[in-house]
Amino acid sequence: MLCAVALITLAGYAQFGNPANDIPAYNALPPSKPLPPVMQGAQLSGPYFTKPYQVCSYKMAKQISPVLHQLPCYCHCDRSLGHNSLHSCFEGTHGAACSTCMKEAVFAYQQTKKGRTPAQIRAAVERGDWMNVDLESLK
């Protein structure tokens, strides 16, 4: 009986993988060619941009575009939308509709301004340090 329970547990674990290793898509290296642009200017208006923090997060994202290219996005839009990094979220309106994307981008901006490398920021994102970002405090 104990062996059967162990086998079922092991099979379930193998099927769903190890959550600690479930890191969303990102690019380990800086971009080798120009990235698609982050939305900006007049694009940052309309129904997706009703809160100041939505516009602010896009402005921050634009300033650190190559860094976002090297970061995973923990809303797992790589699975649902085919995104290959956090940068993809800000090429369209997805980033404005997702607090995870915005918090990660703001966190990455803040860490970049503190002199952290993309690899250091990625490690902090993987630890979940971005979850403490207060979007409402942005202006």
Position 106 in a domain:
yes
Domain containing 85: what range? 23-137
Position 86 in a domain:
yes
Mean pLDDT of all residues in 55-67 = 98
Chain centroid to CA 79: 13
Residue pair 100/75 in contact (Cβ under 8 Å)? The answer is yes
Does 30 have pLDDT greater than 70?
yes
pTM listed for this prediction: 0.84
Position 7 in a domain:
no
Position 96 in a domain:
yes
- What confidence score (pLDDT) does residue 21 get? 63
- What confidence score (pLDDT) does residue 17 get? 38
Residue-wise pLDDT tens digits, 96-116: 999 999 999 999 999 999 999
pLDDT, averaged across the chain:
87
Reduce the secondary structure of the chain to three states and give it as a string. Answer: CHHHHHHHHHHHHHHHCCHHHCCCCCCCCCCCCCCCCCCCHHHCCCCCCCCHHHHHHHHHHHHCHHHHHCCCCCCCHHHHCCCCCHHHHCCCCHHHHCHHHHHHHHHHHHHHHCCCCHHHHHHHHHHCHHHHCCHHHCC
Which of the four pLDDT bands, split at 50, 70 and 90, describes residue 77? confident
Position 84 in a domain:
yes
For the chain, give the percent of residues with pLDDT over 90: 78
How many domains does the chain fold into? 1
Residue pair 96/48 in contact (Cβ under 8 Å)? The answer is yes
Position 133 in a domain:
yes
